Amino acid sequence: MKLSFLASQSHKSQTALKKLSNRYGNVALEDAEVVVALGGDGFMLHCLHQMMNKNKPVFGLSCGTVGFLMNAYQDNKLIERIQKAKNTLLHPLEMTAYQISGQVKKSLAINEVSMLRQTRQSAHIKVKVNEMVKIERLVGDGVLVATAAGSTAYNLSAHGPVIPMGSSILALTPISPFRPRRWQGAILPSHAHFSFEVLSHKKRPVSATADNFEVRNVYRVDVKERPDIGIQVLYDPQHNLEDRILNEQFE
């Protein structure tokens, strides 16, 4: 099996890169059958973004601190593990952000698209789902849309729901909401289209972020899933991503 190793700059990842390359070989990315990512969740996200249009499965080995998106690190039996791994298909979100300056910027997100206030003043955001106004004025720190893969990241920290893999749903979660006081978010089908309008955008500036790509001073943000883009991620059958997300609901 032709493997291409990608590693973060941490000492642990670079040490693993040398050891595994010597043992299994390390071909160029375009020649690889499987890409092996060495690092933490942040580096794994970076690799998955690289693989969006390359149709190559990614097998992550944890060399970081959290490693929720990664498999446990082991030196031996890597080929056997990859051959037995479960293939999980991820579909990213597409963010279209409209800036006050007139620029329009697009980006894809594997975890979530979030909108956050830029100053001490709370954000005022109108929330639409499928062109229908659901909340006239959401007052708080912001709002986010999360995928199943990203539901245990920022979404969970914002008290959003954990979404099982393969459920074809997205989480719409407010971030520190002040009004409406009792709204805790919503679970919606993955084919839903979201539109967020920033009210009083000059007085209350808001930024939009798709994973780690940030756009500042936006007045509108549209979000939808891209089912035509599939990212293959490989996980050990005894500890796959679906099981991890399921277990997170009981911790």
Q: How far is CA 172 from CA 19, 44, 83, 154, 159, in A?
A: 43, 24, 36, 12, 11
Burial classification of residue 142, based on how many CB atoms lie within 10 Å of its CB (0-12 exposed, 13-18 middle, 19 or more buried):
buried
Put the strands of the sheet holding 3-7 in their side by side order.
Answer: 3-7, 34-39, 58-62, 231-235, 86-90
Q: Is 41 a catalytic residue?
A: yes
Q: Supply the DSSP symbol for 159.
A: T
Where are the extended beta strands (E) located within 123-185?
Answer: 123-129, 132-146, 169-179
Q: How far is CA 201 from CA 33, 46, 117, 119, in A?
A: 47, 31, 10, 11
Burial classification of residue 228, based on how many CB atoms lie within 10 Å of its CB (0-12 exposed, 13-18 middle, 19 or more buried):
exposed
In angstroms, the CA 37 to CA 42 distance is 11
Count of other CB atoms within 10 angstroms of residue 125 = 25
The tokens for 194 are 């979201």
- Among residues 31, 41, 75, 141, the one annotated as catalytic is 41
The tokens for 144 are 């986010």
The tokens for 112 are 């979530």
Residues with catalytic annotation? 41
